């Protein structure tokens, strides 16, 4: 874990809050001034890392928030300060960012687009009286490349298919820009299907030798007809049959936190339906640009596709073993 000034500042505040009470981590919750007098066998970095670990545990959030990974396609968690009556408003450029409440902090859960170059970045934070900029650092992540072979009609589009794709693209982008006011209750997601998860999110891809956009989701092995279930409570904001995605369901979990389920054989919900975690949304298939039956599962924050693995509890994953059978 890399540390920056903002996180260290937050750690100091947490330390001051917790040191009033007996704490088994007494050594690691000392204030900055105490730390200067600390014994020499433990470095400041080690102390800080331990404080972060202790603080997250004390806040009871480690099980719920997504895994923080400030890379392209990853998630940054930005501490915004102690609770005020009204949540601060956070934006990345012109795009609103999810803000949630932990035990004693407001935090922003920020998706970092795959196309963002590594380096310094920032968000804008507004509350009732102040406007401020909070900086964060995006580190490098190397994604693999994949060469896939699909039906030629999904690579060299006919005029009709191109027109269809352009219509669908507008409809899809409109749905993906949804930012409802309701805050998600949880960030850890249920697995939408029980199969083996690929680890191909972010892969740079060629289809029939032609470069295309990187892979924006996780492929999960699933035979035709396998039940596909909502990863969390939410509202269905789009269903339909799309040229590339095939039969698709998008669920809004609140404040730009969306999940998408593609290549379905059929859908079991319609736009406007409220769904609960683990509720059936459709069945797996191979519709759209897929080389075989599987579920393509994507997660979006502030209009950025982010790695679903950061939201799912760990299970067996594999790298590219299924790349010839699963694609989108
Ligand atoms: Zn996929």
The DSSP string of 126-173 is: E-SS-EEEEEEEEPP-PPPEEEE---GGGTS--HHHHHHHHHHHHHHH
- Examine the pLDDT at 81 and tell me if it is beyond 80: yes
The alpha carbon of 148 and the centre of ligand 1 are apart by a number of angstroms equal to 11
Greater model confidence, 322 or 201: 201
The alpha carbon of 327 and the centre of ligand 1 are apart by a number of angstroms equal to 5
Greater model confidence, 106 or 328: 106
End-to-end alpha carbon distance in the chain: 32
Give Cα 138 distance to the centre of its chain: 15
CA distance 78 to 133: 11
CA distance 44 to 26: 15
The alpha carbon of 24 and the centre of ligand 1 are apart by a number of angstroms equal to 46
The alpha carbon of 322 and the centre of ligand 1 are apart by a number of angstroms equal to 11
CA distance 269 to 282: 7
Q: How does residue 209 score in pLDDT terms, banded at 50, 70 and 90? A: confident
pLDDT, residue 204, reads 86
Task: Concatenate the DSSP letters of all residues of 85-120 into one string.
Answer: SSPPEEEETTEEEEEEE-SSEEEEEEE--TTPPSEE
pLDDT, residue 318, reads 45
User: Cβ distance 229 to 190 under 8 Å?
Assistant: yes
User: Cβ distance 83 to 89 under 8 Å?
Assistant: no
Residue for token pair 């797996």: 284
The alpha carbon of 41 and the centre of ligand 1 are apart by a number of angstroms equal to 48
Which tokens go with 67? Answer: 């895994």
In terms of DSSP H, where are the helices of the chain? 5-18, 32-36, 44-59, 159-176
The alpha carbon of 300 and the centre of ligand 1 are apart by a number of angstroms equal to 14
- Of the listed ranges 50-54, 221-225, 252-256, the one predicted with least confidence: 50-54
User: Cβ distance 266 to 285 under 8 Å?
Assistant: yes
- Examine the pLDDT at 18 and tell me if it is beyond 90: no
The alpha carbon of 46 and the centre of ligand 1 are apart by a number of angstroms equal to 39
The alpha carbon of 298 and the centre of ligand 1 are apart by a number of angstroms equal to 8
Residue for token pair 């393509």: 296
The alpha carbon of 145 and the centre of ligand 1 are apart by a number of angstroms equal to 14
pLDDT in tens, 151-170: 888 888 899 989 999 999 99
Domains of the chain: 5-138 (2.60.40.1590), 145-318 (2.70.70.10)
Q: How does residue 266 score in pLDDT terms, banded at 50, 70 and 90? A: very high
State the average pLDDT over residues 296-324. Answer: 78
pLDDT, residue 36, reads 31
Does the pTM exceed 0.95? Answer: no
The answer for residues whose C-beta is within 8 angstroms of residue 312's C-beta and 6 or more apart is: 188, 189, 191, 197
Which tokens go with 253? Answer: 């979990």
State the average pLDDT over residues 75-89. Answer: 91
Q: What is the mean pLDDT of the chain?
A: 80
Q: How does residue 248 score in pLDDT terms, banded at 50, 70 and 90? A: very high
pLDDT, residue 165, reads 92
SS3 of residue 18 by DSSP: helix
pLDDT, residue 315, reads 66
Q: How does residue 322 score in pLDDT terms, banded at 50, 70 and 90? A: very low
CA distance 282 to 279: 9
The alpha carbon of 215 and the centre of ligand 1 are apart by a number of angstroms equal to 6
The alpha carbon of 170 and the centre of ligand 1 are apart by a number of angstroms equal to 20
Q: How does residue 210 score in pLDDT terms, banded at 50, 70 and 90? A: confident
User: Cβ distance 262 to 200 under 8 Å?
Assistant: no
The alpha carbon of 220 and the centre of ligand 1 are apart by a number of angstroms equal to 8
The alpha carbon of 292 and the centre of ligand 1 are apart by a number of angstroms equal to 11
* pLDDT above 70: percentage of residues in the chain: 77
The alpha carbon of 200 and the centre of ligand 1 are apart by a number of angstroms equal to 8
- β-pairing verdict for 197-198 and 317-318: parallel
- Examine the pLDDT at 226 and tell me if it is beyond 60: yes
For helices 44-59 and 5-18, angle between their N-to-C axes, nearest 10 degrees: 60
The alpha carbon of 109 and the centre of ligand 1 are apart by a number of angstroms equal to 24
The alpha carbon of 219 and the centre of ligand 1 are apart by a number of angstroms equal to 5
The alpha carbon of 59 and the centre of ligand 1 are apart by a number of angstroms equal to 35
Beta bridge partners of 252: 235, 258
- Of the listed ranges 101-115, 225-239, 306-320, the one predicted with least confidence: 306-320
Greater model confidence, 19 or 100: 100
State the average pLDDT over residues 276-294. Answer: 95
Which tokens go with 82? Answer: 């102690």
The alpha carbon of 44 and the centre of ligand 1 are apart by a number of angstroms equal to 43
State the average pLDDT over residues 42-69. Answer: 49
Beta bridge partners of 52: none
- Examine the pLDDT at 42 and tell me if it is beyond 50: no
The alpha carbon of 274 and the centre of ligand 1 are apart by a number of angstroms equal to 25
The alpha carbon of 216 and the centre of ligand 1 are apart by a number of angstroms equal to 7
- β-pairing verdict for 145-148 and 204-207: parallel
The alpha carbon of 61 and the centre of ligand 1 are apart by a number of angstroms equal to 30
pLDDT in tens, 84-130: 888 999 999 999 999 998 888 899 999 999 999 999 999 999 998 89
Beta bridge partners of 227: 283
Greater model confidence, 31 or 228: 228
Greater model confidence, 152 or 322: 152
């Amino acid at each position: 874990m890399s540390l920056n000034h903002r996180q260290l500042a937050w750690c100091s505040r947490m330390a001051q809050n917790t040191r009033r009470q007996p704490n088994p981590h007494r050594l690691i919750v000392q204030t900055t001034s105490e730390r200067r007098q600390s014994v020499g066998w433990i470095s400041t970095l080690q102390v800080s890392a331990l404080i972060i670990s202790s603080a997250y545990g004390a806040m009871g959030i480690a099980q719920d928030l997504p895994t923080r990974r400030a890379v392209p396609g990853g998630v940054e968690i930005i501490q915004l300060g102690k609770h005020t009556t009204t949540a601060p408003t956070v934006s990345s450029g012109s795009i609103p960012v999810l803000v949630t409440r932990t035990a004693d902090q407001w935090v922003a859960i920020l998706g970092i687009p795959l196309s963002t170059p590594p380096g310094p970045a920032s968000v804008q934070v507004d509350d009732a009286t102040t406007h401020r900029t909070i900086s964060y650092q995006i580190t490098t992540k190397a994604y693999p490349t994949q060469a896939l072979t699909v039906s030629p009609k999904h690579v060299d589009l006919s005029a009709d298919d191109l027109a269809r794709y352009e219509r669908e693209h507008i409809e899809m982008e409109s749905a993906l820009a949804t930012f409802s006011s309701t805050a998600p209750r949880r960030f850890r997601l249920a697995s939408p299907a029980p199969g083996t998860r690929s680890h191909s999110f972010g892969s740079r891809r060629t289809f029939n030798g032609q470069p295309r956009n990187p892979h924006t989701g996780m492929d999960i092995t699933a035979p035709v007809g396998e039940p596909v279930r909502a990863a969390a409570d939410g509202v269905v904001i789009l269903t339909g049959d799309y040229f590339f995605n095939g039969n698709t369901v998008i669920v809004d979990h609140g404040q730009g936190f969306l999940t998408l389920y593609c290549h379905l054989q059929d859908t079991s919900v319609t736009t406007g339906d409220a769904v609960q975690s683990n509720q059936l949304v459709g069945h797996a298939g191979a519709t759209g640009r897929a080389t075989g039956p599987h579920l393509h599962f994507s997660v979006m924050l502030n209009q950025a596709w982010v790695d679903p693995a950061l939201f799912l509890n760990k299970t067996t994953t594999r790298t590219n073993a299924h790349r010839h059978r699963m694609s989108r």
